[in-house]
């Protein structure tokens, strides 16, 4: 996150969890100052539709004032990947202990979504909050 910010990228965190739980987690992991430096923070309470619906990512891009095609999402689940792609964003997929079993499914369904897919130009970084807890 710090390297992305230092490179001039806008950074957002989007999570389907409730705002209170995400705020607690982020402040605990990032610290108050880094949490407050986020360009955008959205939780499940902020949107009507949850992932895999792309709404949370679309709202984040709008709040950042950027085109979805200039964003890269770092996600940890198939529903998050589906939401990111549905929003017109590139996505780097990783996993946590709770989503590790999805890795084979993701590779089979989205074989072209490797890092080379996003390496050409990263405009802005949107992070799935559940990855920060792992």
Looking at the predicted structure, is the pLDDT value of residue 123 above 70? no
List the structure tokens of 41: 């923070």
Looking at the predicted structure, is the pLDDT value of residue 92 above 50? yes
Tell me the average pLDDT across 100-125: 49
pLDDT, position 128: 55
Tell me the average pLDDT across 23-44: 94
Looking at the predicted structure, is the pLDDT value of residue 105 above 80? no
Whether this prediction's pTM lies above 0.95 is answered by no
Does residue 90 contact residue 71 with C-beta atoms inside 8 Å? Answer: yes
Lateral strand order in the sheet of 90-93: 40-42, 10-14, 124-128, 71-75, 90-93
Lowest mean pLDDT among 39-53, 77-91, 115-129: 115-129
Helix (H, G, I), strand (E, B) or coil at 75: strand
User: How far apart are alpha carbons 10 and 111 in whole angstroms?
Assistant: 28
Name the more confident of 61 and 119.
61
Helix (H, G, I), strand (E, B) or coil at 114: coil
Per-residue pLDDT of 43-84, as tens digits, reads 999 999 999 999 999 999 999 999 999 999 988 888 899 999
Return the axis-axis angle of helices 78-86 and 55-64, rounded to nearest 10°. Answer: 50
């Amino acid at each position: 996150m710090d390297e992305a910010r230092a490179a001039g990228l806008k950074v957002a965190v989007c999570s389907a969890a409730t705002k209170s739980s995400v705020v607690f987690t982020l402040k605990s992991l990032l610290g108050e100052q880094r949490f407050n430096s986020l360009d955008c923070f959205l939780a499940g309470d902020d949107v009507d539709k949850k992932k895999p619906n792309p709404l949370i990512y679309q709202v984040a891009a709008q709040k950042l004032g950027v085109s979805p095609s200039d964003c890269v999402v770092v996600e940890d689940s198939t529903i998050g990947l589906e939401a990111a792609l549905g929003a017109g964003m590139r996505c780097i997929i990783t996993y946590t202990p709770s989503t590790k079993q999805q890795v084979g499914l993701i590779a089979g369904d989205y074989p072209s979504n490797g890092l080379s897919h996003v390496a050409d130009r990263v405009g802005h970084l949107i992070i799935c909050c559940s990855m920060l807890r792992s």
